[in-house]
Structure 1
Amino acid sequence: MNTLYRKSLPGTKLDYFDTRAAIEDLQPGSYAKLPYTSRVLAEQLVRRCDPETLTDSLKQLIEFKRELDFPWYPARVVCHDILGQTALVDLAGLRDAIAEQGGDPSKVNPVVPTQLIVDHSLAVEAAGFDPDAFEKNRAIEDRRNDDRFHFIEWCKTAFDNVDVIPAGNGIMHQINLEKMSPVIQARDGVAYPDTCVGTDSHTPHVDALGVVAIGVGGLEAETVMLGLPSMMRLPDIIGVKLIGKRQPGITATDIVLAITEFLRNQKVVSAYLEFFGEGAKNLTIGDRATISNMTPEFGASAGMFYIDEQTIDYLKLTGREPEQVALVEQYAKLTGLWADDLENVEYERVLEFDLSTVVRNMAGPSNPHRRLPTSALNERGIAGDDMLAAAKAEEADGLMPDGAVIIAAITSCTNTSNPRNVVAAGLIAKKANELGLGRKPWVKTSFAPGSKVAKLYLEEAGLLSEMEQLGFGIVGYACTTCNGMSGALDPVIQQEIIDRDL
């Protein structure tokens, strides 16, 4: 850690690094023009970069140059159990090798705090219409992963700097958003922005809080774990100005499907996007997280939002300590990471998206950028009187209709980290029950929230029972269908699909 530009953070026992002063000393008036991402990258350079290369590294940011590699030292590593376990197996192997040479194996530990969340092991074998689905699926998960989970449990006590959240608690990205990220770190007497790499493409979910976080491969994550920098060049940082206001009844999922189509067409591959403007200001953190989570579908590396009042409200809502919330606000306002101090940012490229143009949308299943407005279902031959009549005729003969939906899953941290989306699902279930609608016998329904919080607020709102009545009972707290873990189909239904070539 460097000493130059290290100053006392007023009213606290912490220090901070005055990045604004470092930048202004090199080129007066330039800090106000720097994008949010550049300010965060500059701070860690001032704090950690070799003093001999600091000036040249900072000039890359100030002058928007891409001529030199500079170091990035992420504050944390976040892993799911598959790639995270692989990295820890490597460290365990290194311990064995050191022990064989007569060394002390206990000295082999991650240097950077590493958080492993077990969320990629659950399969939905018991569907949501089974009242015991959660217990059954967890029992199967434990049985199938006995050796793996034993090793992961060992890691909790064997390694320093490793936190493990065991199976059955949620999805890594939602837990990162709700619990893991402090937004501003306070370590070794110094406050600085939280940043992280994660072993999953949807790690940018937490970008919604103003945390620069990107998905990386297992080897790069291991490099960061061991305290080595991840070398990078200044990425393309693109401003995305959100204007307008959403129409009534439009969810964040509708918005993000439209934004995904828009950004794919704008060619933002590997870019760091920064969403700003009045439209962004009015989005809750839940809505922002839905957008940030889809960053890999845009083709981008990061989907950032500035720190503002929405951030502070969310930190309070999710139970962060008052002292931590106060630190986030004070640090962000002092160092230029607060939204009001980013009004004069100069982006090399700015895109504009009007939220008021968004309609109700569908997309997928394999291509989330292929948006389909629900108003076009009939003209595309996906819904309509002819199709309905044919389906009813097949059903009357005791057959499953060709083209029938057989898996209906409310899942994905893109959706379930957003309380508005989950409550909307509960309200639709309530209305469906009132109208006497029900699940067709061939549909495997499931509901897998990204954390246990969803169950609490749905119960309190009287909506969980409505979802259970419709067949969308909670089957687990983990990645499920969107991770390919929707479990086996009913053998009878599976055989009919094969026999009739549906």
Structure 2
Amino acid sequence: MNTQYRKALPGTQLDYFDTQEAVDAIEPGAYAKLPYCSRVFAENLVRRCSPHMLTDSLKQLIERKSDLDFPWYPARVVCHDILGQTALVDLAGLRDAIAEKGGDPSKVNPVVPTQLIVDHSLAVEHAGFEKDAFERNRAIEDRRNEDRFHFINWTKTAFKNVDVIQPGNGIMHQINLERMSPVVHSLNGVAFPDTLVGTDSHTPHVDALGVIAIGVGGLEAESVMLGRASYMRLPEIVGVEVTGKPQPGITATDIVLALTEYLRAQKVVSSYLEFYGEGTTHLTLGDRATITNMTPEYGATAAMFYIDRQTIDYLTLTGRDDAQVKLVETYAKQAGLWA
């Protein structure tokens, strides 16, 4: 973590990195013109990028260039059990190799907090109308997956920075949205935006909270897990202005299907979308998450909504700690991430 531009975050006991000062030092007034995604990437650079690369990396964002790779350090890795288990098997194998050479295998751990959700390999044998269907299905899962579940649960105790969400708690993206994302992290006395990579194409579901989250393959997730930067070039960032409000009888499904049809026609493949405008205030977090969940269906890499009152209300609704909810609002307004 760098030290330059680190300042006290007003109204808290935490620090933050004044990305606006860093960006405006290169080009006065540039920060106010940056898209939401670029502001989050810029903060990541100011906080984590090697100082000798910082100015050139920030210039890519300021000048809208894509001719230089810059490092991105996601705050979390989220895995489902199929690819996540494979990555942890690799780490277990690395521990064996370290032990054979006389080293300390306990030193082999994910550097970045890693959350593994057991949901992708589960099957339903008993339908919901049957008595005790949930308990019976869970018993079948445990019997069929005894060895696999044993290994997964072992990783939770054997490795640092690994959290396992047991089967029966819901699907990966629902849990990420409702429980796992803090939106703003507080670590080692510093507040910074939540960002993540996940081993599923629908990982951008949590973009609805203003969290840059993209789906990646297992090898890239494993690389990030071990603390390596994910190098990238500035993607095409496309604004999608939303006006008006849903008419009576219009559901989130209606909205997302219409948007998907429209966005496919606009050929937004690999782009980072940012939904903005007066119309977004009429979309609940559930509506927004329905839209962001369809990100792979219209071909984008990410589909961002800004942090606003809807975000705060949703965090409160889903039981986030009051202090955490207040931190999200305080940080977003200070860092220019508030809609």
TM-score interval for Structure 1 and Structure 2 normalised by the shorter chain = over 0.9
**Per-residue displacement from partner, 1:443-496 (whole Å, max 9, x unpaired)?**
xxxxxxxxxxxxxxxxxxxxxxxxxxxxxxxxxxxxxxxxxxxxxxxxxxxxxx
Q: Secondary structure at the match of 2:164?
A: strand
- Greater shift, 8-17 or 64-73, is seen at 8-17
Rounded Cα–Cα distance in structure 2 between residues aligned with 1:244 and 1:265: 21
Q: Secondary structure at the match of 1:249?
A: coil
Q: Secondary structure at the match of 2:242?
A: strand
- Are 1:298 and 2:298 an aligned pair? yes
Rounded Cα–Cα distance in structure 2 between residues aligned with 1:128 and 1:11: 49
Please say if residues 121 and 145 of structure 1, whose CA atoms lie closer than 8 Å, have aligned partners that are also in contact: no
Q: Secondary structure at the match of 1:149?
A: helix
Residue 212 of structure 2 is matched in structure 1 by 212
Please say if residues 121 and 141 of structure 1, whose CA atoms lie closer than 8 Å, have aligned partners that are also in contact: no
- Are 1:97 and 2:97 an aligned pair? yes
Q: Secondary structure at the match of 1:201?
A: coil
- Are 1:222 and 2:222 an aligned pair? yes
Residue 141 of structure 1 is matched in structure 2 by 141
Residue 159 of structure 1 is matched in structure 2 by 159
In the TM superposition, what are the counterparts of 1:38-187 in structure 2 within 5 Å?
A: 38-187=38-187
Residue 400 of structure 1 is matched in structure 2 by none
Residue 200 of structure 1 is matched in structure 2 by 200
Residue 236 of structure 1 is matched in structure 2 by 236
Rounded Cα–Cα distance in structure 1 between residues aligned with 2:326 and 2:246: 31
User: Structure 1: which 4+ aligned runs deviate by more than 2 Å?
Assistant: none
**Per-residue displacement from partner, 1:327-372 (whole Å, max 9, x unpaired)?**
1001000110000xxxxxxxxxxxxxxxxxxxxxxxxxxxxxxxxx
Q: Secondary structure at the match of 1:250?
A: coil
Rounded Cα–Cα distance in structure 1 between residues aligned with 2:244 and 2:9: 38
- Greater shift, 132-141 or 79-88, is seen at 132-141
In the TM superposition, what are the counterparts of 1:366-385 in structure 2 within 5 Å?
A: none
Please say if residues 122 and 137 of structure 1, whose CA atoms lie closer than 8 Å, have aligned partners that are also in contact: no
Rounded Cα–Cα distance in structure 1 between residues aligned with 2:59 and 2:287: 35
Structure 1 residue 187 displacement after superposition? 0.4
Please say if residues 87 and 222 of structure 2, whose CA atoms lie closer than 8 Å, have aligned partners that are also in contact: yes
Rounded Cα–Cα distance in structure 2 between residues aligned with 1:193 and 1:245: 29
Q: Secondary structure at the match of 1:213?
A: strand
Residue 333 of structure 2 is matched in structure 1 by 333
- Greater shift, 149-158 or 7-16, is seen at 7-16
- Taking only the aligned residue pairs, the percentage that are identical comes to 79
Ranges in structure 2 where 5+ consecutive residues have no aligned partner = none
Rounded Cα–Cα distance in structure 1 between residues aligned with 2:144 and 2:303: 36
- Greater shift, 2-11 or 221-230, is seen at 2-11
Structure 1 residue 172 displacement after superposition? 1.0
Q: Secondary structure at the match of 1:243?
A: coil
Letter in 2 for 1:202: H
- Greater shift, 192-201 or 122-131, is seen at 122-131
Residue 262 of structure 2 is matched in structure 1 by 262
TM-score, normalised relative to structure 2: 0.99
Rounded Cα–Cα distance in structure 2 between residues aligned with 1:97 and 1:200: 29
Rounded Cα–Cα distance in structure 1 between residues aligned with 2:253 and 2:121: 26
**Per-residue displacement from partner, 1:256-298 (whole Å, max 9, x unpaired)?**
1111111111100011000111111211111100101110111
Rounded Cα–Cα distance in structure 1 between residues aligned with 2:39 and 2:180: 22
In the TM superposition, what are the counterparts of 1:442-457 in structure 2 within 5 Å?
A: none
Rounded Cα–Cα distance in structure 2 between residues aligned with 1:93 and 1:302: 33
In the TM superposition, what are the counterparts of 1:12-27 in structure 2 within 5 Å?
A: 12-27=12-27
CA RMSD, aligned part only? 0.8
Please say if residues 6 and 16 of structure 1, whose CA atoms lie closer than 8 Å, have aligned partners that are also in contact: yes
**Per-residue displacement from partner, 1:75-124 (whole Å, max 9, x unpaired)?**
00011111110110000000000000000000000000001111112212
**Per-residue displacement from partner, 1:421-446 (whole Å, max 9, x unpaired)?**
xxxxxxxxxxxxxxxxxxxxxxxxxx
Q: Secondary structure at the match of 1:196?
A: strand
TM-score, normalised relative to structure 1: 0.67
Rounded Cα–Cα distance in structure 1 between residues aligned with 2:131 and 2:237: 48
**Per-residue displacement from partner, 1:406-431 (whole Å, max 9, x unpaired)?**
xxxxxxxxxxxxxxxxxxxxxxxxxx
Letter in 2 for 1:331: Y
Please say if residues 246 and 282 of structure 2, whose CA atoms lie closer than 8 Å, have aligned partners that are also in contact: no
Rounded Cα–Cα distance in structure 2 between residues aligned with 1:190 and 1:6: 9
Structure 1 residue 55 displacement after superposition? 0.5
Letter in 2 for 1:240: V
Rounded Cα–Cα distance in structure 1 between residues aligned with 2:256 and 2:133: 31
Rounded Cα–Cα distance in structure 2 between residues aligned with 1:110 and 1:314: 30
- Greater shift, 117-126 or 303-312, is seen at 117-126
Q: Secondary structure at the match of 1:22?
A: helix
In the TM superposition, what are the counterparts of 1:326-475 in structure 2 within 5 Å?
A: 326-339=326-339
**Per-residue displacement from partner, 1:279-319 (whole Å, max 9, x unpaired)?**
11211111100101110111000010000000110111111
Residue 285 of structure 2 is matched in structure 1 by 285
Please say if residues 242 and 275 of structure 1, whose CA atoms lie closer than 8 Å, have aligned partners that are also in contact: yes
Q: Secondary structure at the match of 1:326?
A: helix
Structure 1 residue 131 displacement after superposition? 2.5
Q: Secondary structure at the match of 2:129?
A: coil
Please say if residues 113 and 225 of structure 1, whose CA atoms lie closer than 8 Å, have aligned partners that are also in contact: yes
Rounded Cα–Cα distance in structure 2 between residues aligned with 1:213 and 1:119: 19
Of structures 1 and 2, the larger Rg is shown by 1
Residue 390 of structure 1 is matched in structure 2 by none
Rounded Cα–Cα distance in structure 2 between residues aligned with 1:35 and 1:84: 32
Residue 372 of structure 1 is matched in structure 2 by none
Rounded Cα–Cα distance in structure 2 between residues aligned with 1:114 and 1:82: 14
Please say if residues 119 and 172 of structure 1, whose CA atoms lie closer than 8 Å, have aligned partners that are also in contact: yes
